[in-house]
Structure 1
Amino acid sequence: MDERITQYRDAVYEQVVKVGKSLGNVTRLQLLNLLAQGPKTVEVLASTANLSVATTSRNLQILKQANLVGIERDKNFITYRVNSERVKQLMTMLVDICEEVLPEMTTLQKTLTAETGSPKALTIEDLRGKLMSEDVCLIDLRPADEFASRHLPGARNVPYDQLERRQSELPKDKEIVVYCRGRLCAYANVASQQLHDAGFNVATFNQTVWEWSAISSATR
């Protein structure tokens, strides 16, 4: 075999391995999923992920070395962000593959649904159909900064940690559909249980905002 072919093959595989290694860690996947919701500082990421700033910074540097995330500087503030929409697509594909090849993934999802008494999660087509009706109130459970970065059309922001005290704002004569950060997040299921117990007609949407956007763009 031509030595140039061997050298090239080994070198490009090494680059692919670099990305793979950066994803092979629960903490880094969690940070990447949070950044897919919108740019964040190290401090905000650490607080949201319940990590120390030092641990967060160390793992962000590994993601940065793989060029999956980048930084924006504003005076003394540094904000991290994903470097490409394809990083979000990669996260979606990883979850899709896990659901397809790992029975444990499906079992975890079914167990969460059973434990929270959540209704079957709506598909994108289901939700699109419901949003054509005025009888639906769509609730985004993410923090305000993530909502401001991007949200589903017509959604109202009620962060999960404010849900209990703001229930009086929600209409009892409409179906409440709650969503958060997608299939790697349990907030929508737990919130739907709380709202159901409070007497609301509620459904969940467990896809991400960018999954919605990708499908919507493809069907235009």
Structure 2
Amino acid sequence: MSSIKYLLNEQLSLIAQSLTSPQRLEILEYLSQTERSVDELSQLSNLNIANTSRHLQILKQAALVVVRRAGNKRFYKLAGNDVTNLISSLRNTAKIHLAEVEYLMQSYLNKKDELEAIDAQELLERTKHNEVTILDIRPKEEFNTGHLPNAINIPPDEINERIKNLKKDKEIVAYCRGPYCLFAYDAIEALRGQGFRAKRLENGFPEWKAAGYPIQQSHNLKQGGL
């Protein structure tokens, strides 16, 4: 029995070891938005192709990502929503137990957003009554793959130009890649500077999707302006 337990723990350690690199955690964050090629991941993570492939192979060996081939290209995606939940649990545990994480949160992120964030359940309730405008502050290709229902996509580099087209009769809730994604923080700062009532979603799109909340894809929506 002890040998079986050891073998089981050995398999669990494969996953733990695969998460010991900040670069691999960053790659998993990008993959939690949408499937991506090795080239895309290399550019996003500022790693060369060889290093990116090496990190992806480690994640694949730990069964955290899966790969498909299309011609000469390889495309990776998360093995399941449970991987998103695993990263969320890791993040929450670090926030509770590591003083440095708490310090970084308090000294930077909390300063950028002093108001309490809205959680997913509250946002669902408020959308039923048409009380909020939802902004997706991610690049267009990520938005097209999946987003919160009826969200408006304003990529990070367009926020200052396009907020003038938004109406001020509703509070705005902005979200991006996850709770530490600075796109939403910067968007809230810009919106409040223009007199909007704005909050951020407590987590991002991957956590929303992993929790089983409804999502839409862009081809299911009518095209149009703000």
Query: Normalized against structure 2, the TM-score is what?
Result: 0.84
Partner residue, 1:116: 112
**Contact (CA 8 Å) 1:139, 1:155: kept in 2 or not?**
yes
Q: 2: CA distance between counterparts of 1:32 and 1:113?
A: 21
Q: 2: CA distance between counterparts of 1:112 and 1:130?
A: 29
- The answer to whether residue 167 in structure 2 is matched with residue 186 in structure 1 is no
Partner residue, 2:217: none
Q: 1: CA distance between counterparts of 2:154 and 2:186?
A: 14
Q: Deviations over 1:157-196 (max 9, x none)?
A: 1111222232233223322211011123222112211221
- Gaps of at least 5 residues in structure 2 are 214-226
Partner residue, 1:7: 3
Q: Secondary structure at the match of 1:176?
A: strand
Spell out structure 1 runs of 4+ moving beyond 3 A.
Answer: 213-217
- The answer to whether residue 49 in structure 2 is matched with residue 63 in structure 1 is no
- The answer to whether residue 20 in structure 2 is matched with residue 24 in structure 1 is yes
- Give the number of equivalent residue pairs: 213
**Contact (CA 8 Å) 1:181, 1:206: kept in 2 or not?**
no
Partner residue, 1:52: 48
More moved, 60-69 vs 19-28: 60-69
Q: Counterparts in 2 of 1:66-215, with a 5 A limit?
A: 66-215=62-211
Q: 2: CA distance between counterparts of 1:197 and 1:48?
A: 29
- Gaps of at least 5 residues in structure 1 are none
| Structure 1 pair 46–20 and aligned structure 2 pair: CA distance change class (3 A) | same
Query: Normalized against structure 1, the TM-score is what?
Result: 0.86
Q: 2: CA distance between counterparts of 1:175 and 1:47?
A: 35
Q: 1: CA distance between counterparts of 2:211 and 2:68?
A: 29
Q: Secondary structure at the match of 2:144?
A: helix
Q: Secondary structure at the match of 1:51?
A: coil
| Structure 1 pair 32–213 and aligned structure 2 pair: CA distance change class (3 A) | closer
Partner AA of 1:147 in structure 2? F
**Contact (CA 8 Å) 1:118, 1:204: kept in 2 or not?**
no
**Contact (CA 8 Å) 1:180, 1:206: kept in 2 or not?**
no
Displacement of 1:55 after TM fit?
Answer: 2.4
Q: 1: CA distance between counterparts of 2:162 and 2:49?
A: 31
Partner AA of 2:44 in structure 1? T
| Structure 1 pair 66–216 and aligned structure 2 pair: CA distance change class (3 A) | closer
Partner AA of 2:33 in structure 1? Q
Displacement of 1:114 after TM fit?
Answer: 4.1
Q: Secondary structure at the match of 2:161?
A: coil
